[in-house]
């Protein structure tokens, strides 16, 4: 019998295997999840599983933030953002997934499991164009 697990049960398992002190997951756990996704033809669900997993980490007091900018943010700016996000989400740990995107003119975009904070110059220019200034 081929029994498929729900995305939520997979993300819950991943969350249970996450070290709350540093957000690390053992690579063998990742390989098991990947093998299951391939075997059960669930590759298309991986993004949904990852989103559920990142939301479930909030219960472990961890917030994962995708930080998109044209170059790596300096430590002081990252620390200021971390402090604000910790306070807003009431968590003690922020894990940044830094993504360099050379199409961004300046500023950054912070993407959390439930919001997108777009502080890029690109976004500002788009808003100005919409206002037809």
* Max intra-chain CA distance, the chain: 63
Assess whether pLDDT exceeds 80 at residue 15: yes
The DSSP code sequence of 21-85 is TT--B-HHHHHHHHHHHHHTT-GGGHHHHHHHHHHHGGGGTEEEEEEEESSPPPHHHHHHHHHHH
- What is the pTM (predicted TM-score) of this model? 0.75
**The pLDDT of residue 1:** 46
Domain boundaries defined on the chain: 1-59, 61-133
Mean pLDDT taken over the chain: 87
Higher-confidence position of 1 and 52: 52
The CA R_g of the chain, rounded to the nearest whole Å, is 18
In which band, very low, low, confident or very high, does the pLDDT at 66 lie, cut at 50, 70 and 90? very high
91-119: average pLDDT: 92
Assess whether pLDDT exceeds 60 at residue 106: yes
């Amino acid at each position: 019998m081929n029994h498929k697990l729900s995305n939520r049960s997979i993300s819950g398992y991943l969350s249970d295997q996450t070290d709350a002190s540093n957000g690390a997951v053992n690579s063998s756990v990742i390989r098991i999840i990947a093998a299951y996704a391939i075997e059960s033809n669930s590759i298309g669900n991986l993004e949904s599983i990852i989103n559920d997993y990142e939301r479930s980490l909030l219960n472990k007091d961890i917030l994962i933030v995708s930080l998109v900018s044209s170059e790596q943010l300096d430590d002081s700016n990252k620390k200021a953002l971390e402090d604000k996000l910790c306070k807003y989400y009431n968590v003690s740990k922020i894990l940044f997934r830094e993504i360099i995107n050379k199409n961004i003119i300046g500023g950054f975009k912070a993407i959390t499991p439930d919001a997108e904070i777009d502080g890029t110059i690109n976004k500002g220019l788009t808003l100005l164009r919409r206002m037809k200034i």
